[in-house]
C-alpha cells in the first residue's frame, strides 16, 4: 500500500523539503513530519491549497506526469469581472508564449467559503474582483496565472482545490490528512 499525504499548503511555503531561507518556516519540512514522502507535482510559493505527497514512485508519476492528464481544479480570485467571453477563451485554450493550452473547464463562482490568507489579498475599491473555478489537465509553469492574465483577468489568489479524486476540502492550511492507496 502506498502512502498519500493530502496537504493544504499555505501561501508562502515552497513545495520542497529543503532550500528555504535559513531558519525560516518556508518549506514543507516544518509542516510534514512523515519520512520518505515527496511532492507529486508543485505549487508556487504564491499559491495555496492541495499538494499531494507520496512514497510511491509510480503513484507520483501518475499524479504529476502530463501524459496522464490528471484533472486539477483551481479556485481563482481574479482582478476584474469574469465575463462570458473570458471564460469561453479559457475553456477553448489560450495562446501562451510556450504554445496553446489544452481546453479547460472554466466557470464563474460565488466567493468560496475558504480560509483567510495571510497576508490578505490586496483590496481596491475601484477595481472589482471575481472568482472562477478552472479545471486543467496540464501542468505548465505558472499556467493558471498566465492563462487568466492572457484573458485580461490577473490572478489575485490561487487555491488548488482538487487533483483527480482528492480534495483539500476540510483540511486546514498547514495541516494534512494521510490516506492509504
Segment 101-146, tens digit of pLDDT: 999 999 999 999 999 998 899 888 888 999 999 999 998 889 999 9
Cell of 111: 466567493
CA distances from residue 142 to 36, 59, 138, 160 in whole angstroms, order as listed: 27, 23, 11, 12
Cβ neighbours of 84 (radius 10 Å): 8
pLDDT of residue 122: 84
Mean of the per-residue pLDDT values of the chain: 94
Whether 33 is catalytic = no
Assigned fold of 71-163 = Alpha-Beta Plaits (3.30.70)
Q: Give the domain ranges of the chain.
A: 3-66+166-180, 71-163
| Domain 3-66+166-180 matches domain 71-163 at the CATH topology level | yes
Residues 26, 33, 44, 169: which is the catalytic one? 44
In this prediction, residue 68 carries a pLDDT of: 87
Phi–psi pair at 89, nearest 5 degrees: -60, -45
**What pLDDT score does 22 carry?**
64
Q: Between 3.30.70.580, 3.40.50.1360, 3.50.50.60, 3.40.50.10800, what CATH number should domain 3-66+166-180 receive?
A: 3.30.70.580
Q: Are strands 3-9 and 176-180 parallel, antiparallel or unpaired?
A: antiparallel
Amino acid at each position: 500500500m502506498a502512502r498519500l499525504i493530502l496537504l493544504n499548503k499555505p501561501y508562502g511555503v515552497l513545495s520542497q523539503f529543503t532550500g528555504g531561507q535559513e531558519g525560516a518556516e518556508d518549506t514543507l519540512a516544518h509542516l510534514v513530519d512523515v519520512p520518505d514522502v515527496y511532492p507529486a507535482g508543485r505549487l508556487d510559493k504564491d499559491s495555496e491549497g492541495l499538494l499531494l505527497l507520496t512514497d510511491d514512485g509510480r503513484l507520483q508519476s501518475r499524479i504529476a506526469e502530463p501524459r496522464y492528464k490528471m484533472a486539477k481544479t483551481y479556485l481563482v480570485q481574479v482582478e476584474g469581472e469574469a465575463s462570458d467571453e473570458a471564460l469561453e477563451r479559457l475553456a477553448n485554450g489560450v495562446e501562451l508564449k510556450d504554445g496553446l493550452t489544452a481546453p479547460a473547464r472554466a466557470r464563474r463562482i460565488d466567493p468560496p467559503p475558504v480560509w483567510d490568507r495571510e497576508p490578505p489579498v490586496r483590496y481596491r475599491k475601484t477595481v472589482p474582483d471575481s472568482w472562477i473555478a478552472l479545471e486543467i489537465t496540464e501542468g505548465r509553469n505558472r499556467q493558471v496565472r498566465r492563462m487568466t492574465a492572457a484573458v485580461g483577468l490577473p490572478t489575485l489568489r490561487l487555491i488548488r482545490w482538487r487533483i483527480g479524486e482528492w480534495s483539500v476540502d476540510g483540511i486546514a492550511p498547514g495541516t494534512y490528512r494521510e490516506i492509504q492507496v
